Structure 1
Amino acid sequence: MSESAQHEERRARISVEVRRWCEHAAIDGSHDLLSDAAAVLIAAGYLDAPTRQILTNRRRAGRTIPSIGGFGALRLLVDEYHQAVRRSDTVRSRPGQLYYKHRATELGRKLESYRSAVVTSTAHYGNGVWAMRRDRRLGVHLDLGQREALFEALQRTPAPTTGAPLGRVGDFARGTVARRLSQAAEKTPMAAMGRRAADAIGRGAVHDPDKVAEDKFTDRYDTLLYLAGTLFDQIDSSPLWHSGHFEVQRSQLDLAEELTQIALDTVDLRGIMGELDEALRATSSESGLKQIRGRQSALHSVWDQLVERVAALARIGDLLSRAEVQLRSVLAVNKAASLDDRIDDLIARSGDRELSAENTHYVGDQFDGVEEMMIAYQSALYGDIAELTSWSSGQS
């Protein structure tokens, strides 16, 4: 297979995989929560243009957002809080209601403490008239309302609803409570009620982590955002991406801005599609239904483009991973072949000048191989980066 054919095959394979994950709202395997950096960039997609610009200015100026131990965990906490509130209203048994109300109160307090940490931190935001004036002049000041909006957006950080480590911990905790409640009630007049309460609390808990073969998400949009954030984390944390080998490519692609633009378009698309679905349910006339379905069909191309943008990021991540593996292999061969001055010193002492020269040429050839390999990967990256930047420039 030619290099061009291999390139096309790889593009098609990755695009199909990204689309499959999104349409099923599930990703094979178990994955980490997003970094705070990725979470803030995605949250910017929910905010207005002035707030997004301030966040961009803060990022470029090295100004951070208060950390609470992971905004992916915040999303899981918020989901569990709403679930506990719902279950406290729907569970019929009195012990079950008490448990979920207590849990909702506990989570609500924790949520408020996180809100306070993010919104009112004096270590991250200008405190005092002069400090606020200075930050406004620099374009990095977030007003109280903007910080509140940011915290609301961070609560929507995409995270797996099942399969994530914190999700399994929550399931295990509910399962443990259910078992203890059931055991405590056995051989007492309250045995039947205890079993019902235990069933209500433990329902839905996954007791065997090995049974979870994939991470599931709320919908295809959350899946896409999570994939984009994960790929941002993978690429941005790559030493090779930040090396001199890919300096030109880094100048061509602003990863942070790309993630925010993907988030902005995805959030808008989800909102518009939701409104069209509501309109579809409320419309009874045939002409109205036809018009709404036509608008929905017109938006399919937007979804397709978003999938391809994330697939392009996935191809960059895939190339970097392969390049890192090959580079480590080449450097290991170099080290074993040369051993630097130790081999040269030993050869010099043995008087075998010819062997020393051959060894030096061999090491030089290996470094030539590194450069050739990097050039090949630079060329492969160029197409995916050009595709991403063409979308961004087309929207501006």
Structure 2
Amino acid sequence: MVDNRRRGLPTTGTTSDEIRSWCDQSRLPGDRPELSDTAAILVASGFLTPSGRAILVRRISTGLPVPVLHSGFGDLRRLGRAIAQSEHQLANPMMPGVVAAVMRNRVNGLHRRRDDARKLIVTAKGVFAGGTRAIRRERRENVYLEIEERERLFAGLMCTPTPDANTSGYMRRAGTAAMDRLAGVVGQVAAKTGYPQAGEWANQILVPEPEGASTAPLGTPGSVTFVDGYETLLFVAGHFYDRIVRNPAWLSDHFEIQRTQVNLHAELAEIAADVIALRAVRIDLDRAKRNGGFDRTFAEHIDRRETALRPVWTELIDRVQALGEVAAVVESAAVELRVLAEYDRASTIDDRIDDLIARSGDREISVDNAKRLTEQVRSGEEQLRIYRDVLQGNIARISPAVPRELPARYEPS
């Protein structure tokens, strides 16, 4: 085998301490691609009931179709963010009426886009069974996702972990050309009406965070940010999942046994469910402490329950780190398989060279045979020429050179 250290390849994956640090800062180093459709759906399955989540995992494991969006579920998250931010601006009573009218048109358009996306996921044709007999068959096979579960899935996909979804530059990227046109309209309104606030609305529409809302740290060059540590952990888990399942080495015959030992789809779905449940519990604990913290006994009880939850967070980080280890090993194995493929290709060339060398004696014999055949042919040609000349002479003797004319009538002499 080839020494990975000599080639500078990582022999281990991301450590738990690194993942914990990323979650504490809600930031990942480097530019990260968005989650694949399958990873986003599995993360969103954490919002489903256990039975609905098991059905979705079973569909993915058996290759049955699942809902997809051509633009990706990251755009769905950005769409939801644009709606929330635009509605927050509309709620301001000081907004000029002409600007509010433009904003309402924009919000209505965003709502229509969201409704169209919902139809693609909840009532997608060609994905889930539509006829009565087909629905009964899928229910018997336990792969039919009920409408209520699809609604939960859509709600979960609206929260798809997406890099830089809530940073200051988010709306400029998420709004597309429509938001730019809106900014231009608002700027014209400011110039014509003389409202000094109108120009500010344009900037607030593109960049602001709702006042009092929790914000992720601003992104720095070479990093991506998330809303909180829970979303960061979900994204990291989905990122590791994508690295594994997209690697050709994982799908090769070399890991056939390993693929039967672990269901990565179910693993990611369970991690997502636990992270989402833990986040919900922590939010409820914080709310309870905020509302009843004046009672010392109650506050101490809340603190004890928070302490009891800390091992759960550590366990989730360790599970995600284990996925990262698998991803690192599979990627390292992919490099080794490429090297082995080159070795096989080189050995094939060696075999072909050896075969050519081994056949050199046969070629020498073939050359000798060819020379003998040529001599025999030439000898045969000489014999044929002789035979032709002899045959020509015989023909000449049979046919006289001067043709004789027979008399018209035979008369005996």
Q: Confirm or deny a common fold (TM above 0.5).
A: yes
Distance (whole Å) between structure 2 residues aligned to residue 42 and residue 119 of structure 1: 17
- Counterpart CA distance in 1 for 2:335 and 2:56 is 35
Tell me if 1:57 matches 2:58.
yes
Paired residues, number: 341
Establish whether residue 141 from structure 1 lines up as the match of residue 144 from structure 2. yes
Establish whether residue 108 from structure 1 lines up as the match of residue 111 from structure 2: yes
- 1:268 offset after TM fit, Å? 1.0
CA contact (8 A) 2:11 2:328 kept: no
TM-score by length of 1: 0.76
Q: Secondary structure at the match of 2:18?
A: helix
Q: Select 2:354's aligned residue among 344, 348, 356.
A: 344
- Other-structure match for 1:302: 312
Work out whether residues 164 and 170 of structure 2, in 8 Å CA contact, stay in contact via their aligned partners in 1: no
Matches of 2:161 and 2:67, distance apart in 1: 19
Matched, 1:228 2:231: no
Deviation of 1:108 after TM superposition, in Å, equals 0.6
Matched letter for residue 17 of structure 1: E
Q: In structure 2, do the counterparts of structure 1 residues 87 and 192 end up closer, same or farther at CA, with 3 Å as the change threshold?
A: closer
Moved more, 12-21 or 38-47: 12-21
1:91 and 1:200 in contact (8 A); partners too: no
Distance 1:101 1:281, change over 3 A: same
Q: How does 1:67-106 map to 2 (within 5 A)?
A: 67-69=68-70, 70-90=72-92, 92-94=94-96, 96-106=99-109
CA distance in 2, matches of 1:31, 1:168: 19
Question: Match of 1:255?
Answer: 264
- The CA distance in 1 between the partners of 2:180 and 2:220, in whole Å, is 18
Shift of 1:113: 0.7
**Higher-RCO chain (CA-CA 8 Å, sequence separation at least 6):** 2
Matches within 5 A, 1:1-396: 14-69=15-70, 70-90=72-92, 92-94=94-96, 96-162=99-165, 169-170=173-174, 173=177, 176-177=180-181, 180-181=184-185, 184=188, 190=194, 192=196, 195-204=199-208, 212-283=221-292, 284-336=294-346, 338-339=348-349, 342-348=352-358
What is the TM-score with the length of structure 2 in the denominator? 0.73
Residue identity in the other structure for 2:89: R
Seen in structure 2, the aligned counterparts of structure 1 residues 167 and 320 have a Cα distance that, compared at 3 Å, is farther
Q: What is the Cα deviation at residue 158 of structure 1? A: 1.5
Going from structure 1 to structure 2, the CA distance change for 1:328 and 1:196 (only over 3 Å counts) comes to same
Alignment partners' CA distance in 1, 2:125 and 2:177: 35
Separation (CA, whole Å) in 1 of partners of 2:51 and 2:172? 38
Select the structure of larger CA radius of gyration.
2
Give unmatched runs, 5+ long, in structure 1: 4-8, 352-396
Distance 1:75 1:179, change over 3 A: closer
8 Å CA contact retained: 1:182, 1:191: no
Superposition deviation, residue 152 in structure 1: 1.6
Q: Are the equivalent residues in 1 in contact too, given 2:165–2:227 (CA < 8 A)?
A: no
CA distance in 1, matches of 2:166, 2:356: 56
% identical equivalent positions: 33
Seen in structure 2, the aligned counterparts of structure 1 residues 324 and 224 have a Cα distance that, compared at 3 Å, is: same
Distance 1:339 1:166 in 2: 55
